[in-house]
Amino acid sequence: MKSVIVRASQVAVAVVAVGVMSMKAPAQTATFNGTASEQWSNSANWSPAGVLSGTGAHALINSQTSSLLRLLYTSGSFSTQPAVQMGAITFLSTLANTSGTVTGTFNVQNNSAGTKGTLRLYGVDTTVDGLSRRFIIVNSSTMANVQFTQSNAGQDFELFTNGAVHVTAGTQLTLTPLIRNGGTTAQSITKTGLGLLTLSSSAQMSTYSGGFTLDGGIVQFANSGTAQANTPFGIGPLTLRSGTIRSTTATGRSFNVPLVLDGSVTLGSTDPAFNGTITVNSQGGTLATTVASDSVVTIVAGGSTAWNQSTSGAGSITKAGTGLLRFTPLSTLTHTGSTVVQEGTLIMSGSLTSASAVTVLSGALLTGTGGIAGATTILAGGTFSPGATSGAVGLFSFGSGGLTLAGQTLLEFSGTGTARGIDFDAVNLDGNIAYGGGLSLALTGTTYGDNTALKLFDFAGGASGSFSSVTASGLYGPLTFTNEGSGVWTSGATNVPGQTLTFTESTGVLSVVPEPSAVALGGLGVAAAAFVQWRRAGHRRRARRAGAAG
């Protein structure tokens, strides 16, 4: 690190080169070297000498001899007690512990055992890692972790600006304080940098109301908080622009704030230490999601996210990652941009009521028991299977936009009756259906009586196209149907004696058909029974006549 410091009337202007950080003339800058008992309030710890404090002050933390910084909030060195006013705090890349290495943790704590402290942050305009904006906390240290702790009486933060918390790639910053608005103005925090920001379980839940934006790196949180009261992200909207959000453990966490989708975000982690599920709560419908721009939501492999919030906005949603995303019955989706299932599974148990076009790409699965109003296309290699989960049957509804099938359509039969969506998978359409790809029937529930008709597809519009194949498994199969022409598929002999199956595309009906031989035998049986009855009746008549003659 190289520093050139010019002082005039107690105002210092610094030009600092730390990695890729540069200063843009803040009102006052000083470096904390921490050589005298790690006390912030000891002027000997600062270069230039004098305790740094003030709304435009920028503290550069660069201790080489200690892994601890003690803030005695009740110190007479601070003009506002028991609070410290500060523009921004930066932990430099050269920060080290007592052995001169960068292993271990650097702690910032309240040194008072009896008075809780408040750090008031006003922001400093500068450039860090090529980003020019207002920052409040920057961690460029490569120590294992830099953290604000709740040791002794603890500490809170107050925001008097909309500021960024920047964590440089390869570094970690942990915040435990409650963060609240300074004064009556709603303030916000933006997380920048590729490093890891931890919102610790020891933190009291925050109440600042301007919102939290994830704009790079990883954020992990350990407590979900309470909607409209306090959460680790405050009580304003959580904007997901770039980066990853995960649990601090294998325990599931919830977003209890309204969401804004404005870029690309990954939810969850494949690391067993951080793979807790992420849930998007709606708080009884009072929390909603705005799709501000075309956005990608990635659910990691093995991960599962239940999205309870309704959506609005003009942006599109692309579901990426091999994990599972479920729009629950609590969610009414009205965003008007497209909806794409790029990878993994999308369970649509809510209702997509806008004209948003839905596309399921190769390798992806659309399932559920909800509804989609707009045009839906299952591309080659994609799969459509109604039902809440695999093996659970259900009814899926499509609106006037219709359904185009070019991938695999899987319908399951697991009940013992003929109720659509209860005993077998079924599809309702207010518009047209275009058949294509393969139809697979999993007949595992029961066998049916002769002439049973099961309406798999009920469409108000017309039917076009044709499946490329129809197969069945389970009690009747395995079967490969034959296209007899005009969209009529017949199974041939099945595992159920005397029955065959027919699927007719123009009606969407699967029929159980008695085999002709069985019909013929049935007819012979009826005739034979009638003949026996006729002979018996004749014997009875003759017996009555003989008795009368005697």
pLDDT per residue of the chain (550 residues) written in tens, 0 to 9: 333 333 222 223 333 333 344 443 445 899 999 877 889 999 999 999 999 999 999 999 998 888 899 999 988 888 888 999 999 999 999 998 766 666 789 999 999 999 999 999 999 999 999 999 999 999 999 889 999 999 999 999 999 999 999 999 999 999 999 999 998 999 999 999 999 999 997 667 999 999 999 999 999 999 999 999 999 999 999 999 999 999 999 999 999 999 999 999 999 999 999 999 999 999 999 999 999 999 999 999 999 999 999 999 999 999 999 999 999 999 999 999 999 999 999 999 999 999 999 999 999 999 999 999 999 999 999 999 999 776 789 999 999 999 999 999 999 999 889 999 999 999 999 999 999 999 999 999 889 999 999 999 999 999 999 999 999 999 999 999 999 999 999 999 999 999 999 999 999 999 999 987 544 444 444 444 444 454 455 455 454 444 544 4
Q: Which amino acid is at 51?
A: V
Query: What's the rounded Cα separation, in Å, for the pair 440 and 489?
Result: 12
Query: According to the model, what pLDDT value does residue 16 have?
Result: 35
Query: According to the model, what pLDDT value does residue 102 have?
Result: 66
368 and 393 in contact (C-beta within 8 Å)?
A: no
Paired with 58 in beta bridges are 29, 88
Contacts of 244 (CB under 8 A, 6+ apart): 217, 218, 219, 265, 266, 267, 269
DSSP symbol at 211: -
Query: According to the model, what pLDDT value does residue 530 have?
Result: 46
Nearest to 427 by CA among 447, 409, 406: 409
Q: Where are the alpha helices (DSSP H) in 337-456?
A: none
Contacts of 271 (CB under 8 A, 6+ apart): none
232 and 209 in contact (C-beta within 8 Å)?
A: no
Query: According to the model, what pLDDT value does residue 80 have?
Result: 84
DSSP symbol at 543: H
Strands (E), 273-386: 278-280, 288-291, 295-299, 304-307, 310-312, 317-320, 324-327, 332-333, 339-341, 345-348, 351-352, 358-360, 365-368, 371-372, 376-378, 383-386
Chain-centroid distance, C-alpha 318: 11
360 and 344 in contact (C-beta within 8 Å)?
A: no
Query: According to the model, what pLDDT value does residue 445 have?
Result: 85
Nearest to 349 by CA among 306, 384, 391: 306
Look up residue 220 and give its two tokens. 């992990």
Four-residue CA torsion sign, 507, 512, 515, 518: negative
Give Cα separations from 278 to 230, 307, 483, 512 (angstroms): 18, 9, 46, 45
Query: What's the rounded Cα separation, in Å, for the pair 173 and 195?
Result: 8
Contacts of 358 (CB under 8 A, 6+ apart): 338, 339, 340, 341, 352, 366, 372, 374, 375, 376, 377
Nearest to 215 by CA among 125, 121, 318, 128: 128
Q: Is the peptide bond before 232 cis (omega within 30 degrees of 0)?
A: no
Query: What's the rounded Cα separation, in Å, for the pair 247 and 255?
Result: 11
Strands (E), 444-496: 453-455, 457-459, 463-465, 469-474, 479-480, 482-483, 488-490
Query: According to the model, what pLDDT value does residue 6 have?
Result: 30
Sheet containing strand 509-514, strands side by side: 453-455, 509-514, 499-504, 488-490, 482-483
Query: What's the rounded Cα separation, in Å, for the pair 9 and 182?
Result: 29
Query: According to the model, what pLDDT value does residue 533 have?
Result: 55
